[in-house]
Amino acid sequence: MRNVVEDLVHELYDELRPGVANWSDTPENREDVMVYTLNRVPAHYVTTLKGEVITRMDLLKDQLRADATVALLEAFRFIGAKPRPSGGAAKH
Protein backbone atom coordinates (compact mmCIF):
# COMPACT_ATOMS: atom_id res chain seq x y z
CA MET A 1 0.00 0.00 0.00
CA ARG A 2 1.31 3.44 -0.85
CA ASN A 3 0.16 7.04 -1.16
CA VAL A 4 0.74 8.13 -4.76
CA VAL A 5 0.16 11.77 -3.82
CA GLU A 6 3.50 11.55 -2.02
CA ASP A 7 5.16 10.90 -5.39
CA LEU A 8 3.40 13.92 -6.89
CA VAL A 9 4.52 16.17 -4.00
CA HIS A 10 8.12 14.96 -4.37
CA GLU A 11 8.02 15.79 -8.09
CA LEU A 12 6.50 19.21 -7.44
CA TYR A 13 9.10 19.92 -4.74
CA ASP A 14 11.88 19.31 -7.27
CA GLU A 15 10.14 21.51 -9.85
CA LEU A 16 9.41 24.42 -7.52
CA ARG A 17 12.49 24.44 -5.25
CA PRO A 18 14.81 26.27 -7.71
CA GLY A 19 12.36 29.19 -7.80
CA VAL A 20 12.21 29.63 -4.03
CA ALA A 21 14.47 32.47 -2.97
CA ASN A 22 16.87 31.89 -0.07
CA TRP A 23 15.82 28.27 0.39
CA SER A 24 18.18 26.08 2.40
CA ASP A 25 17.70 22.63 0.86
CA THR A 26 18.72 20.55 3.87
CA PRO A 27 17.31 17.06 4.48
CA GLU A 28 15.47 18.43 7.54
CA ASN A 29 13.87 21.30 5.61
CA ARG A 30 12.89 18.99 2.74
CA GLU A 31 11.30 16.53 5.18
CA ASP A 32 9.43 19.30 7.00
CA VAL A 33 8.09 20.70 3.73
CA MET A 34 6.94 17.25 2.63
CA VAL A 35 5.17 16.60 5.97
CA TYR A 36 3.54 20.05 5.98
CA THR A 37 2.30 19.59 2.41
CA LEU A 38 1.12 15.99 2.74
CA ASN A 39 -0.92 16.93 5.82
CA ARG A 40 -2.82 19.46 3.69
CA VAL A 41 -3.68 17.49 0.56
CA PRO A 42 -5.88 14.39 0.35
CA ALA A 43 -4.07 11.06 0.22
CA HIS A 44 -4.68 8.54 -2.57
CA TYR A 45 -3.65 5.04 -1.51
CA VAL A 46 -3.20 2.18 -3.96
CA THR A 47 -2.27 -1.46 -3.59
CA THR A 48 -1.98 -2.60 -7.21
CA LEU A 49 -0.24 -1.41 -10.33
CA LYS A 50 -3.60 -0.93 -12.05
CA GLY A 51 -4.79 1.19 -9.12
CA GLU A 52 -1.59 3.21 -9.28
CA VAL A 53 -1.98 3.89 -13.01
CA ILE A 54 -5.59 4.98 -12.63
CA THR A 55 -4.80 7.15 -9.62
CA ARG A 56 -1.79 8.74 -11.32
CA MET A 57 -4.03 9.69 -14.23
CA ASP A 58 -6.45 11.30 -11.77
CA LEU A 59 -3.53 13.14 -10.14
CA LEU A 60 -2.74 14.78 -13.44
CA LYS A 61 -6.04 16.59 -13.24
CA ASP A 62 -5.50 20.29 -12.76
CA GLN A 63 -7.27 20.80 -9.42
CA LEU A 64 -5.31 18.27 -7.36
CA ARG A 65 -2.04 19.41 -8.89
CA ALA A 66 -2.97 23.03 -8.14
CA ASP A 67 -3.95 22.19 -4.54
CA ALA A 68 -0.66 20.35 -3.99
CA THR A 69 1.30 23.24 -5.53
CA VAL A 70 -0.41 25.80 -3.27
CA ALA A 71 0.20 23.65 -0.18
CA LEU A 72 3.83 23.16 -1.18
CA LEU A 73 4.42 26.89 -1.69
CA GLU A 74 2.83 27.57 1.71
CA ALA A 75 5.17 24.96 3.19
CA PHE A 76 8.25 26.60 1.65
CA ARG A 77 7.16 29.92 3.14
CA PHE A 78 6.29 28.50 6.58
CA ILE A 79 9.32 26.22 6.96
CA GLY A 80 11.65 28.84 5.47
CA ALA A 81 10.53 31.30 8.16
CA LYS A 82 11.06 28.75 10.95
CA PRO A 83 13.63 26.15 9.87
CA ARG A 84 14.44 23.54 12.46
CA PRO A 85 18.05 23.11 13.51
CA SER A 86 19.82 20.17 11.88
CA GLY A 87 19.18 16.96 13.77
CA GLY A 88 16.15 18.35 15.66
CA ALA A 89 12.68 16.90 15.77
CA ALA A 90 10.00 18.34 13.49
CA LYS A 91 7.37 20.46 15.27
CA HIS A 92 5.27 21.59 12.30
Flag whether 56 is in a domain: yes
Flag whether 72 is in a domain: yes
Number of domains in the chain: 1
Domain that holds residue 10: 2-81
**Core vs surface per residue 16-49: b (16+ CB within 10 A) or e:** beeebeebeeeebbbebbbebbbeebeebebeee
Flag whether 92 is in a domain: no
Query: 0.85 cut: is pTM over it?
Result: no
Flag whether 89 is in a domain: no
pLDDT tens digits, one per residue of 24-53 = 999 999 999 999 999 999 988 888 877 777
Cα separation, 41 vs 67, whole angstroms: 7
Flag whether 27 is in a domain: yes
